[in-house]
Chains A and B, each alone.
Chain A
Amino acid sequence: GENVEQHPSTLSVQEGDSAVIKCTYSDSASNYFPWYKQELGKGPQLIIDIRSNVGEKKDQRIAVTLNKTAKHFSLHITETQPEDSAVYFCAASIRPGYALNFGKGTSLLVTP
């Protein structure tokens, strides 16, 4: 089955700096790669996703890149703010709407 690895497990940045979280996956059949943000006491919230026919996608301060040849994808957050502090999960599935395989999560702390 699919195995998703996520690094780093914790990340601390100063407000205004950029944060990068990286994931690799094992199943070449995976075609859908969402990112979720989970705040304490809440369910995961979808923040951005990318599909296999796209190499990069951007939404304001958040961007995701995908390299299908190398089987890795990354989340980039620019101009970080304290409210970006949360646990971020990457995931992969064979197609949108199907069950997701999650990475272990990255705890991001943005300090003022």
Chain B
Amino acid sequence: SAVISQKPSRDICQRGTSLTIQCQVDSQVTMMFWYRQQPGQSLTLIATANQGSEATYESGFVIDKFPISRPNLTFSTLTVSNMSPEDSSIYLCSVEGVEETQYFGPGTRLLVL
């Protein structure tokens, strides 16, 4: 399985600021995904990020709020912009691994005050 790391692992931020979350994979992958998991809730897909193309956002998520970069096949960033307390969540990246299964990183726990 792919080894995925995320930075930061957790952060406490003030409203109105922005945070960039990094996702690093130990092998080259075509598709990377960003999910949000609100406290005690399930996972909701934010966007799909393929290298060399614009990210594809799900309904309810917009690029201005969650800009994504995918500069190469092992790395991606998600920025949470102009944060409010409602953005407090766990943000998870995932990648397509062997046999097309999907593996998740450990997550970034964000608290917005």
Contact = CB atoms under 8 A, between A and B. Distances in A.
A44 B104 contact: yes
A43 B107 contact: yes
Contact of B96 (A44, A97, A103, A105): A97
A100 B25 CA distance: 19
A7 interface: no
Interface string A68-112: 000000000000000000000100000111111111110000000
Contact of A46 (B31, B58, B101): B101
Given A97-B100, A102-B42, 8 more contacts: A34-B101, A43-B104, A43-B107, A44-B104, A46-B1, A96-B99, A100-B45, A104-B42
Interface of A: 1, 32, 34, 36, 42-46, 49, 89, 95-105
